[in-house]
Structure 1
Amino acid sequence: MNSNNNIQDFQKQMKQKVQKIEDILQEYLPKQRGYQSVIMEAMGYSLLAGGKRLRPMLMQETFCLYDGTSKALRPFMAALEMIHTYSLVHDDLPAMDNDEYRRGRKTTHIVYGEDMGILAGDALLNYAFETAFRAFVIEPEKSLSIGRALAVLGEKAGIYGMIGGQVIDVKETGHTVAKDVLDTIYRLKTAALIEAAMMIGAILGGASEEDVKKVERIAEYVGVAFQIQDDILDVTSTSEVLGKPVHSDEKNEKTTYVTLMGIDEAKKEVERLSNEAITLLHQLPGKNAFLEELLLQLSHRDK
C-alpha cells in the first residue's frame, strides 16, 4: 500500500474495525450495580479510554485468514483487550511507572485513587476470563479449540508471558541490562499478548498446528519491533502526539534499544523484524491485505 488512496482506504477500514471492536467491548462490559458499582465504573473508564484496539483487531484479522466462522471469537476479543487494559492500569501505578496520563487523559489511579486503580486492574483481569469462558456456552461444539485458545490466553498473559516480562523489567530498572535480557523482556512483556491475539485467531479459525506456530513467530517479530519503535518514539515524539509522557524511559532509568544501540541501529532492527514477519505471513495459506498492512503499520507507527 504505497499510494495515498490506499493509505486512506486502510485508515478508513481501520476506523470502521475499531468501532466494531468498541461495540464488542460495550457488549461485554459488566453493568454498574450493587454496592461495588464503583469498580464497574472504573473498569469502564479504563477499558473505554480509546486506543487502537490492535490486539482484538489482530485476532480478528488472523481468524479471517482461515475463513473462520466460529462465534466464539467475540468474547475472546473482549477478554484480550481487558487483559491488555488491566496491564496498562497497573503499569501506570505509583509503584510502577507512576504516570498521570494515558491516551491523553488522566490515568485510572489518578481519577479513582491508587486503591481502586489496583482493584480495577484486578477486576479487569478476572473478568477477562469470565468473559472468555462464555465461549463454551456460545459454541459448545467447539470446546476443544476454545480450550486451546484459553490455554494460550492464560500462558501468554501470565508468568511465562506478559507478567514474567514485567517482573524482569521492574527488577532490572535502574541497572544496565544486557541485550539478551532486554530481548527477553520485550518478547514476554510486549510480544506475548500480540502472540496470544494472533494464535487465538488462528486456533479458532481452524489453523493447523504448524500454522499456529508460524503465527506465533510472526507475532513475536512484530511485538518486539513494536516495542523497539516505542523506545524510539519515547525519544523522538511529543506527549501531545503520543497521549502519554515522553522520556519516561530516561526518567525511570530503563535500558532500551535506543540506549543500548542508538536510534539508527534500533530503526534497522525494527526493519529487519518487520521484514521477517511479512515473509512468514506470505507462507500462510490465506491472504489478507489489511492484516499485512496492519503488521507493517505497527512496526512503523509514529504514535
Structure 2
Amino acid sequence: MTEVDGLQSVKPAESELLVVTGMSGAGRSTAANALEDHGWYVVENLPPLMLGTLTELVSRMPHSIPKLAVVIDVRSKELFQDIREALNNLRAAGVTYRVLFLDASDQTLVQRFESGRRPHPLQEDGRILDGIAAERDVVKELRDTADIIIDTTKLNVHALATAVTELFSEQGPIVLRLNVMSFGFKYGLPVDSNFVADVRFIPNPHWVPQLRPHTGQDADVRDFVLSALGTEEFLDRYVDALVPVIDGYRRENKHYATIAVGCTGGKHRSVAVTEELAKRLAKLPHVTVAAHHRDLGRE
C-alpha cells in the first residue's frame, strides 16, 4: 500500500463510505438515525482529519462494517479546510466515497432554530440569518461537489427518514435513483434539481373550463396534455437525451438525480408529463424512478 499524506491506499473492496454533511438545522441527525436503522455504522461529529484514519480501520474489517456513514458538522472556515483536505486525501488514496449534503431554505432554517430556541452556531452576536449566510459561504464548494443533495425545506422528520430510506437499501445505495418532480415556475425552481424541463410550450388546460378543476393525474387532463402537438416528440427526444447522461452517472459512481418538470402552476401540464416521463425512464435498465409533485394542491 502507498502513502498519501500519511493515509495509506486502502480502497475497500466491500465497505461503503458515505459522508453526511450540510446546513445546520437541515436534518443531519434525522438522516443519521435513518441510516443507522438500515444497517449503516454511523459516526457523528467526527473531526474531519480523523476521517482517513477511521476509513483505514474500517477497511481492515469490511465484513464487520460494510457500510460506514460519517456525519460531519461544518462550522468554520478552518474546519472546512480540514474537510476538503481529508476528502482529497481519500480520493488520492483510491478510497471510494460519496457526499450526502442536506439543505433547506433560509426561512425554513430560521423557523427550525427559533422553534428549538437555540442560536445558529455561526451567528455570534448577530441574527440567525447572519449565521446561516456565514455557513452557506463556508459550505458552498462542498455543496457544489456533493453527489447527493436533499432539500429538506418541505420535509418533516418522517418524510426525510423516508427519503433516506428510499436512497439506501439494506444492500447499500440504489444503483441509480431518478426523482422526477413536477413544479410550478411561479413558486420558484427546485433547488436540488439536476435537470429542468420547461413544458409551458404545451397548451394550458387551465384555460379549458371543464379541465381547470382537475389535475395532471386525472385522465381527461392527462389525455389533453399528452395528445397535444409536440408532447410525444418532446418525451421521445428527452428520454433519448437522458440515456447517455444516466450511463455517465453510473460510470462516475453517481447514484441520485432529480429531473424537474415545470409549468406555470405545477398542477396540469408538468404533472401529466412527469408521470409519463417517469414511466418511460423506469423502463431503462438498472434505474429506479419515483415521481413527485412539489406544488400539486397549492392555490
TM-score normalised to structure 2 length? 0.30
Larger radius of gyration: 2
TM-score normalised to structure 1 length? 0.29
Going by fraction, where is strand more abundant, 1 or 2? 2
